[in-house]
Chain A
Amino acid sequence: MSQIHVTTTINGDATEFLCEPEETLLDVLRDRLGLTGSKEGCGTGDCGACSVTVDGRLVCSCLMLGAEAQGARVETIEGMADGDDLHPLQQTFLDHAGLQCGICTPGILVAAKSLLERNPAPSEEEVRYWLAGNLCRCTGYDKIVRAVMAAADDMRRAS
Chain B
Amino acid sequence: MALDDRDTATKLDFKVVGTRPPRPDGIDKVTGRARFGADMTAPGMLTGRVLRSPHPHARIRSIDASKAEALPGVKAVVTRADFPAEVPEDVADVLDNCMAGDKALYDGHAVAAVAANSAAVARKALKLIEVDYEPLPHVTDVDAAMAPDAPVLHEAGGDETVPEGHSRNVMSRVQFGHGDIDAGLAQADRVIERSYRTAATHQGYIEPHACLASAGPDGQADLWCCTQGQYMVRDTCAAILGLSQGQLRVTASEIGGGFGGKTTVFLEPVALALSRKAGRPVKMVMSRAEVLRASGPTSSSSVDVRLGMTRDGRITAGFAELRYQGGAYPGSPVDMGSMSAFAPYDLENVRTVGWDVVTNRPKAAAYRAPGAPMAAFAVESAIDELSKELGLDPLDVRLKNAAREGTKASYGPTFPAIGLEATLEAARAHPHWSAPLGENQGRGVACGFWFNFGGNTCVSLNVAPDGTVTLSEGNPDIGGSRASMTMMAAEELGIPYDRVRTVITDTGSLGVNDVTDGSRVTFAVGLATIEAARAAKREMCRRAAMIWGIDEEAVVWEDGAARPSGPNAGEHPPMSLAEIAAIAPNTGGPIAGHHEVNAEGAGVSFATHMVDTEVDRDTGAVKILRYTVFQDAGKAVHPDYVEGQFQGGAAQGIGWALNEEYIYGDDGVLQNPGFLDYRVPVASDLPMIEPVILEIPNPGHPYGVRGVGETSIVPPLAAIANAVSAAAGVRMTQLPMSPPRVLAAIHGADDG
Known contacts being A22-B120, A44-B674, is A76 close to B288, with CB within 8 Å? no
How far does the alpha carbon of A77 sit from the alpha carbon of B32 in the complex, in Å? 6
Residue B48 interfacial (CB < 8 Å): no
Residue B6 interfacial (CB < 8 Å): no
Q: Chain B contacts of A99 at CB under 8 A?
A: 26, 29-30
Tell whether, in the assembled complex, residue B682 and residue A140 are in contact, meaning their CB atoms are under 8 Å apart. no
Give the distance to chain A from B264, nearest Cβ to Cβ, in Å. 18
Question: Which of A41, A134, A144 has most chain B Cβ within 10 Å?
Answer: A41
Residue of B nearest to A90 (CB): B30
Question: Which of A86, A106, A129, A141 has most chain B Cβ within 10 Å?
Answer: A141
Tell whether, in the assembled complex, residue A46 and residue B35 are in contact, meaning their CB atoms are under 8 Å apart. no
Tell whether, in the assembled complex, residue B34 and residue A102 are in contact, meaning their CB atoms are under 8 Å apart. yes
Tell whether, in the assembled complex, residue A135 and residue B25 are in contact, meaning their CB atoms are under 8 Å apart. no
Which of B31, B675, B684 makes the CB contact (< 8 A) with A47? B675
Known contacts being A41-B208, A77-B32, A137-B652, is A46 close to B683, with CB within 8 Å? no
How far does the alpha carbon of A136 sit from the alpha carbon of B643 in the complex, in Å? 16
Which of B25, B36, B480, B652 makes the CB contact (< 8 A) with A39? B36
Residue of A nearest to B34 (CB): A102
Known contacts being A40-B38, A97-B641, is A135 close to B675, with CB within 8 Å? yes
How far does the alpha carbon of A129 sit from the alpha carbon of B208 in the complex, in Å? 25
Q: Chain A contacts of B208 at CB under 8 A?
A: 40-41
Tell whether, in the assembled complex, residue A41 and residue B288 are in contact, meaning their CB atoms are under 8 Å apart. yes
Tell whether, in the assembled complex, residue B648 and residue A49 are in contact, meaning their CB atoms are under 8 Å apart. no
Tell whether, in the assembled complex, residue A101 and residue B647 are in contact, meaning their CB atoms are under 8 Å apart. no
Give the distance to chain B from A101, nearest Cβ to Cβ, in Å. 5
Tell whether, in the assembled complex, residue A76 and residue B22 are in contact, meaning their CB atoms are under 8 Å apart. no
Residue of A nearest to B256 (CB): A103
How far does the alpha carbon of A137 sit from the alpha carbon of B28 in the complex, in Å? 19
Interface-lining segment among B100-108, B161-169, B199-207, B370-378: B199-207
Which of B23, B207, B255, B652 makes the CB contact (< 8 A) with A94? B23
Question: Which of B30, B31, B285, B643 has most chain A Cβ within 10 Å?
Answer: B30
Q: Chain B contacts of A90 at CB under 8 A?
A: 30-31
Q: How would you classify the secondary structure of chain B's contact residues: helix, strand, loop or mixed?
A: loop
Q: Chain A contacts of B81 at CB under 8 A?
A: none
Residue A138 interfacial (CB < 8 Å): yes
Tell whether, in the assembled complex, residue B479 and residue A46 are in contact, meaning their CB atoms are under 8 Å apart. no
How far does the alpha carbon of A44 sit from the alpha carbon of B479 in the complex, in Å? 26
Residue B18 interfacial (CB < 8 Å): no
How far does the alpha carbon of A132 sit from the alpha carbon of B686 in the complex, in Å? 10
Residue A36 interfacial (CB < 8 Å): yes
Residue A139 interfacial (CB < 8 Å): yes
Tell whether, in the assembled complex, residue A43 and residue B287 are in contact, meaning their CB atoms are under 8 Å apart. yes
Report B633-670 residues with CB < 8 Å from chain A CB: 640-641, 643-644, 647-648, 650-652
Residue of B nearest to A34 (CB): B41
Tell whether, in the assembled complex, residue A140 and residue B650 are in contact, meaning their CB atoms are under 8 Å apart. yes
Q: Chain B contacts of A133 at CB under 8 A?
A: 682
Q: Chain B contacts of A73 at CB under 8 A?
A: none
How many A residues touch the partner, as a band? 35 or more
Which of A37, A46, A140 makes the CB contact (< 8 A) with B648? A140
Residue B20 interfacial (CB < 8 Å): yes
Which of A81, A135, A143, A146 makes the CB contact (< 8 A) with B680? A135
Known contacts being A94-B26, A94-B27, is A46 close to B676, with CB within 8 Å? yes
How far does the alpha carbon of A125 sit from the alpha carbon of B680 in the complex, in Å? 18
How far does the alpha carbon of A56 sit from the alpha carbon of B720 in the complex, in Å? 41
How far does the alpha carbon of A41 sit from the alpha carbon of B37 in the complex, in Å? 12
Give the distance to chain B from A86, nearest Cβ to Cβ, in Å. 7
Residue of B nearest to A84 (CB): B27
Tell whether, in the assembled complex, residue A145 and residue B688 are in contact, meaning their CB atoms are under 8 Å apart. yes
Residue of A nearest to B647 (CB): A140
Known contacts being A94-B23, A103-B206, is A134 close to B683, with CB within 8 Å? yes
Q: Chain B contacts of A128 at CB under 8 A?
A: 683-684, 686
Report A41-57 residues with CB < 8 Å from chain B CB: 41-44, 46-47, 49
Residue B304 interfacial (CB < 8 Å): no
Tell whether, in the assembled complex, residue A93 and residue B30 are in contact, meaning their CB atoms are under 8 Å apart. yes
Residue A68 interfacial (CB < 8 Å): no
Residue of A nearest to B254 (CB): A102
Residue B193 interfacial (CB < 8 Å): no
Give the distance to chain B from A30, nearest Cβ to Cβ, in Å. 8
Known contacts being A49-B206, A94-B22, is A103 close to B479, with CB within 8 Å? no
Residue A67 interfacial (CB < 8 Å): no
Residue B39 interfacial (CB < 8 Å): yes
Known contacts being A102-B29, A143-B644, is A135 close to B682, with CB within 8 Å? yes
Give the distance to chain A from B715, nearest Cβ to Cβ, in Å. 14
Which of B205, B480, B683 makes the CB contact (< 8 A) with A137? B205
Q: Chain B contacts of A101 at CB under 8 A?
A: 205-207, 254-258, 478-479
Residue B33 interfacial (CB < 8 Å): yes
Report B242-262 residues with CB < 8 Å from chain A CB: 254-259
Which of A36, A47, A137, A145 makes the CB contact (< 8 A) with B35? A36
How far does the alpha carbon of A93 sit from the alpha carbon of B480 in the complex, in Å? 13
How far does the alpha carbon of A124 sit from the alpha carbon of B205 in the complex, in Å? 25
Q: Chain B contacts of A129 at CB under 8 A?
A: 683-684
Q: Chain B contacts of A137 at CB under 8 A?
A: 203-206, 257, 259, 648, 651-652, 680
Q: Chain A contacts of B255 at CB under 8 A?
A: 101
Report A1-45 residues with CB < 8 Å from chain B CB: 20, 22, 30, 35-44
Tell whether, in the assembled complex, residue B651 and residue A140 are in contact, meaning their CB atoms are under 8 Å apart. yes
Q: Chain B contacts of A102 at CB under 8 A?
A: 25, 28-30, 34, 254, 256
Residue B744 interfacial (CB < 8 Å): no
Residue of A nearest to B22 (CB): A94
How far does the alpha carbon of A46 sit from the alpha carbon of B479 in the complex, in Å? 23
Tell whether, in the assembled complex, residue A42 and residue B648 are in contact, meaning their CB atoms are under 8 Å apart. no
Report B265-324 residues with CB < 8 Å from chain A CB: 285, 287-288
Which of B259, B479, B682 makes the CB contact (< 8 A) with A132? B682
Tell whether, in the assembled complex, residue B30 and residue A109 are in contact, meaning their CB atoms are under 8 Å apart. yes
Q: Chain A contacts of B33 at CB under 8 A?
A: 37
Give the distance to chain B from A94, nearest Cβ to Cβ, in Å. 4
Residue A78 interfacial (CB < 8 Å): yes
How far does the alpha carbon of A24 sit from the alpha carbon of B686 in the complex, in Å? 32
Tell whether, in the assembled complex, residue A106 and residue B32 are in contact, meaning their CB atoms are under 8 Å apart. yes
How far does the alpha carbon of A43 sit from the alpha carbon of B35 in the complex, in Å? 19
Residue A105 interfacial (CB < 8 Å): yes
How far does the alpha carbon of A58 sit from the alpha carbon of B728 in the complex, in Å? 40
Tell whether, in the assembled complex, residue B30 and residue A94 are in contact, meaning their CB atoms are under 8 Å apart. yes
Query: B17-59: contact bitstring with A at CB < 8 Å (1 yes, 0 no)?
Result: 0001011011111111111101100000000000000000000
Give 13 pairs: A residue, B residue, CB < 8 Å, sorted on A. A30-B38, A35-B32, A37-B32, A39-B38, A47-B288, A78-B31, A99-B26, A101-B207, A101-B255, A104-B256, A129-B684, A137-B206, A143-B644
Q: Other than A101-B258, A128-B684, A131-B684, give 19 A-B pairs with Cβ distance below 8 A.
A: A40-B38, A77-B32, A80-B31, A94-B22, A94-B27, A94-B30, A100-B257, A100-B648, A102-B29, A104-B206, A129-B684, A132-B683, A135-B204, A135-B675, A135-B682, A138-B479, A140-B647, A140-B650, A143-B647
A contacts, CB < 8 Å to B: 20, 22, 30, 35-44, 46-47, 49, 76-78, 80-81, 86, 90, 93-97, 99-106, 109, 124-125, 127-129, 131-146
